[in-house]
Amino acid sequence: MAGLFLLLSGLWFYLRPWWKSKKAHNFIGEDNEDLGKQEFIQYDFATLSAATSEFSVDNKLGEGGFGLVYKGTLNTGEVIALKRLSGKTGQGAKEFMTEARLVAKLQHRNLVKLLGFCSHGEEKMLVYEFLPNSSVDRFLFDPIRRESLKWKTRYKIIMGIARGLQYLHEDSRLIIIHRDLKPSNILLDKEMNPKIADFGIAKLFGGKQKYGNTSQIVGTQGYMAPEYLLTGEYSEKSDVYSFGIIIFELVSGQKNRVLYQATHMEDMPNHVWRLWNGGKCHDFIDPILQNSAPTSEVMKCIQIGMLCVQGNTDNRPTMATVVLMLTGSMPLPSPSTPLMAIHDYSLPRFDIDATQNHGSTDQSTSKLEAR
């Protein structure tokens, strides 16, 4: 009996590393690529609980469809951002697993860095680098903090987002469509370098696939491309559209809202188009930038933004082309009208059946279903 016990103990000691790696593989999911191969850390629950003072409210950074985001400090002194999914939360669990699988395969200076994970019973957690300056929207849409957002910094943010998207669309091993690009999902490090975050509803394309289609429209109103909002079709050009909106917001310091004119309604792309045609684009620039930003560079960004929000997806540039235009390596073509005025659309009716806060901000993400 003692011999059998020693044999079983030996087998357990020998197989334990394999069993742990299988747990990591099952946690991440498919594609035969587990986190262990990426040399990420598997944190234990007790360590993360202690780092966040038992997930105290004081350490809460934000809330999303997956659960909560916390700031934590490990016993080594390293500061982390922790995404915690607790319990059976349906779509939140699916978004969490999507983000885990995707981010584990991505490495770029303009993408948020995944440090490790934790799987403890029904609880799943992702551990990210902590970015001390929160997200772009926390600066851009705050009337006081926006004053510190000089043009040099805004241009660096625009360029960094463009390079990160180029990597996702063209330079990584996988083609990844983010589908929820917005200022609240662009985090800022201590030097104000941007990092794209929150891949919970991202889509992965393989082979020669260029387009996807869904009957369940998930994203944030104001940043969704019209073809996606109206038909459910998405592609890399959907992200390009969202990027164009972010350019407009960084230039103007304003959110993309529907504006009510005397005879019609218009959103930000059509508002900018009208100003462009009337030679009044200076009126669109954030007053904070009026006397400090180089006019030619700001106008170049406005023009690139208009090219990104063209109604016809074929007329939108790729992100590689956008990077070339931003660096001055390619001449800028003339944009055409982005879209018809909003009231001219035969818009489908949508029910908003979920509104969630993602990341560390108060921006909403809506799940829309056509009816």
- What are the catalytic residues? 180
**Beta-strand relationship, 41-42 and 114-120:** parallel
Contact 147, 204 (CB under 8 A): no
Q: Whole-angstrom Cα distance, residue 107 to residue 97? A: 18
How many alpha carbons fall within 13 Å on the CB side of residue 180?
A: 26
Which residue matches tokens 């509104």?
A: 355
Alpha-helical (H) ranges within the chain are 2-28, 45-51, 91-103, 136-140, 151-166, 226-231, 236-252, 268-277, 295-308, 319-326
154-186 burial by CB neighbour count: b if 16+ within 10 A, else e? bbbbbbbbbbbbbbbbeebeebbbbbbbbbbbb
- Residues 21 and 36 sit within 8 Å (Cβ to Cβ): yes
The whole-angstrom separation of Cα 93 and Cα 119 is 13
The continuous run of DSSP H or E covering 259 comes out as strand 259-260
Token representation of residue 197: 């975050």
Instruction: Decide the pairing of beta strands 79-85 and 67-73.
Output: antiparallel
Element holding 115 (H helix, E strand): strand 114-120
DSSP label at 57?
Answer: G
Task: Using the Cα atoms of residue 217, residue 220, residue 222 and residue 224 in order, give the sign of their dihedral.
Answer: negative
